[in-house]
Amino acid sequence: MANRMLSEAEGYELLQNYGVPTPAFQIVTGADEAAKAAAAIGYPVVMKIISPQIVHKSDAGGVIVGISGDGEAKKAFNSIVKSAKEYNPDAEITGVIVEEMARPGLELILGGKTDPAFGKVITFGMGGTLVELMKDVTLRILPIHDHEIRTMVKEINAYPLIAGYRGMKAKDEEALVEILTGIARFFEENQHVMEFDINPLRLYESGACAVDARIIVD
Ligand code: ADP
Ligand code: MG
């Protein structure tokens, strides 16, 4: 069977089982329902398109952050669906995900891929818009020991941003280690998962939150 991309909601649910914190969310299929879900979650919220054919949701006009009222929520729903249809008229639109808006934090990328020679590999690095440019990532072949995960975290060039740099407070390195340990176990225990990423994970002085999840299964 061909590979298939799980929805962000399915991704969040799977990853939660391995200790990855995610925003509260609901799936909706209409504008009124979107406003109801948003009010239930609590404003401000974020809305995003759900479509198996749309991998980069922002590119499709499929992400709106900072939605702060019922009127805005209805408009956002309609705008997201319209943009996605324009972006890819053949895309099957499953719905829209309404999420709690996470506060800003240090943006990191966590992921896994299956290397033809080495098998399952996990990756970790800096996130954000400059990541392509910086290539500040590190990787490990699975299985991996807990102490190796700690080493991995300290390996990226941007590590001072985690440890605390020039008056910036340290981030929750312990939470990050636990999440990396969780995703390594997730990847090892789920044979159908070929590839996945959390892009980004927001890391705080206390705790963290995944604000995107993409999982490819066979
Ligand atoms: P894409 O498919 O384009 O990668 P994302 O789900 O990563 O879409 O959303 C794009 C950006 O919007 C994220 O990188 C993040 O900065 C912001 N974002 C997404 N979801 C949330 C959220 N729940 N809370 C706060 N910011 C978010
Ligand atoms: Mg993303």
pLDDT above 90 covers a percentage of the chain that reads 92
Residue 6 has pLDDT above 90, yes or no: yes
Atom of ligand 1 nearest to the CA of 57: 2
* CA–centroid distance, residue 174 to ligand 2 (Å): 23
* CA–centroid distance, residue 22 to ligand 2 (Å): 13
* CA–centroid distance, residue 181 to ligand 1 (Å): 23
Q: Which ligand is nearest to the CA of 111?
A: 2
Residue 153 has pLDDT above 80, yes or no: yes
| Per-residue pLDDT band at 1 (split at 50, 70, 90) | low
* CA–centroid distance, residue 200 to ligand 2 (Å): 6
For range 146-164, the mean pLDDT? 95
Residue 179 has pLDDT above 80, yes or no: yes
Please enumerate, as own/partner, the contacts of 40-45 that have beta carbons within 8 Å and a separation of 24 or more.
41/98, 41/99, 41/100, 42/100, 43/67, 43/68, 43/69, 44/68, 44/101, 45/73, 45/98, 45/99, 45/100, 45/101
More confident residue, 40 or 127: 40
pLDDT, mean over the chain: 96
Start-to-end C-alpha separation, the chain: 6
pLDDT above 70 covers a percentage of the chain that reads 99
* Binding pocket residue ranges, ligand 1, CB within 6 Å: 23, 46, 48, 56-58, 63, 65, 99, 101-102, 199-200, 211-212
Report pLDDT for 150: 97
Report pLDDT for 134: 77
Report pLDDT for 127: 87
Q: Which domains does the chain have, with CATH numbers?
A: 24-100 (3.30.1490.20), 106-217 (3.30.470.20)
pLDDT in tens, 107-151: 999 999 999 999 999 999 998 776 677 789 999 999 999 999 999
Atom of ligand 1 nearest to the CA of 100: 23
Atom of ligand 1 nearest to the CA of 8: 6
Q: Which ligand is nearest to the CA of 48?
A: 1
Nearest CA to ligand 1 atom 22: 101
Return the exposure string of 124-156: e unless at least 16 CB atoms fall within 10 Å of the residue's CB, then b: bbbbeeebeeeebbbbbeeebeeeebbebbeeb
Report pLDDT for 133: 76
Nearest CA to ligand 1 atom 10: 58
For range 187-211, the mean pLDDT? 97
Nearest CA to ligand 1 atom 20: 211
Q: What is the pTM of this model?
A: 0.96
Rounded CA separation 206/156 (Å): 20
* CA–centroid distance, residue 92 to ligand 1 (Å): 21
More confident residue, 2 or 214: 214
Would the CA dihedral through 84, 88, 94, 100 be positive or negative?
negative
